[in-house]
Structure 1
Amino acid sequence: MRNPVVAVSGAFILLYCLSALLAPYIVSHAPDVMDARARLAPPSLEHPLGTDQFGRDVFSRVVHGGRVSLQVAFVAVFTAVIVGGAIGMVMGYVGGLFDALASRVLDVLIAFPSLLLALFLVAVLGPDLKNLILAISLTRVPYFARLTRAEVSSLVERPFIEASRAAGASGSRLMLRHILPNLLPLLVVFATTDVATAIIAESSLSYLGLGAQPPTPSWGRMLTEARAFFGQAVWLALCPGLGLQPLRRRAARRHRPPAAWPMRRARNGCRGCTSDRSGMFDLTPLPSSSRPAEPTAASCPSSTKPRWTSGSNVKIRGVRGARECR
């Protein structure tokens, strides 16, 4: 694995999903059972992560709280994929005035911070899991609609779409039989990366008291309750906080602008790849007269053929997709 941070975050997310799915089989205490004799008990063999102010097992509540967060995130993202994908397909296929008006509406929705918009919707509709799912899904719909619209706009100009249209295929048949299968891989990848964002949104709203209501466990509400006991029972905030950390990092990486993405260091001996002292590619454009020559197999002493780097969408030194030697 080239990036150890991504590897550790991925391992935590995998463990998080498995523990949420197997919650009834890996915990020995119910998440809502109170024990006044074991209030704020430190971690032990009976309670691996200690107990809270009501004597409830923290490990059981963390596992079941993750299960609730996963359910909310998956349902919200799935709903956003269906609704946003349908809107984007119609926008990209129809085009014209409808596309222009719908694009302006999406611009307005995207201009608002997603968490602030979800907070407003839940505050109006009331704190409930159903309303929470509805609010999160509505905030994610514009992003899926914009993504789908851009992909469909490029697909409708492909030769196989033109041939199907010339053969007499209807618009619904074109979208369902030809466009949708080409959209699914893109939507699946985008949806899997958006689940982390939905979990962070659910935890944030629960932290503010607008998510899952007691006695339903939630990581955000557990952090809220742990504030009053942070000095004497640090494990109450540490356990759900550590669970959210990999998801927060993944969500931040998901929304980082392309200019902030790290580029791979150019290897020695490749004349077409220049890098500065920090190992990042120099993104300043060069005039056309001074653009570096593209490397060939003969100019790379340590390889037999050059290959493209992952930064093919960034103009590096005036070359679209610098090459490095392998």
Structure 2
Amino acid sequence: MRGVRLLAAALVAADGLQGRQTPRRASCRVRAGAGFGAPKKAGTTKARRKRPRPPPRAAPARPALDKWGLPVAEPEDEDAPRDLGARKVSLEAPPVAVATAGAALAHAKAHPVDLGDPRLAVLHLDPPVYRVQGFLSTEECAALIALTASGRCREMPKAAGTFAAGEAPRRTSTTWYARYREPACAPLLRRARALFRGVPFAHFEELQLARYLPGERFRWHEDAVPPSLLRGGDGGQRVATLLVYLSGDGDEAQGGATCFRDLGAPPPLRVAPVAGDALLFFPAFHLSGRPDDRTVHAAEPAKAEKWVSQLWLHEGPYPPCILDDNPHLE
């Protein structure tokens, strides 16, 4: 009898233990099923979708520059002018007297030129380009050409560029530097000073003389000094170019015209050489001294021997550095 009672008590205890454990096991199954793959009812949750990532943005293209900060010449630069839109204003029927274009030029506060000079003819308004008619006489042109054979000038090797050897492939002409006080240079320098409203002689760079044999040329280039090369006490930026033709009669068959790639309606502005006439333009026209890349120009291949003289006006006193014993005129 006692054994029967013990067996019954053991069965009751077992049933109580099972009743307490069952809810815990069921609860664990529910929690596990909810988080790890239990069947989901339609519409109860939103399926997660991976959004496609946008493609990486390409870095903006930068113009290639050589180690002197100048644009690397590209084949398309040889032929096609750039579309500058409103940045340029061309005259419809050049040349025009300064009096006709005076109002359009009056806004130029940095203009260093005497607009009352009767020899000036306007070829382009913005940026200004002038022809200075009869700047030198035939005899004065011949004296400058003869100076190159006198032994008193310095002939530069063809490998020498305007600012560095990197420009040499663009130019095939021969260049000489002349002293300020050479008698043959005096007429050009004094008339240039008068044309530029009496600026000090010290602002003029050393005078260059250049010869182009048939087939020689100077490819697209700017006359402005690259800003990275400007140093204190070097005269600062070139603000004006005075290019004097020492030979030529305006005949297109002789070649050697000065061409501005981005000025004028197509075809671009071209100026044929006429002995004694000068071409005047502004590589850095505004007071900021920032180069004006609209003045990119070239000397087209010469078909007959061509002679020119080049004189640059700087914004400050320029210390001569090409020739020894070369003081400025007073």
Give the structure-1-normalised TM-score. Answer: 0.24
Bigger Rg over Cα: 2
Q: Which has the higher contact order (CA 8 A, sep 6+)?
A: 2
Bigger strand share: 2
Bigger helix share: 1
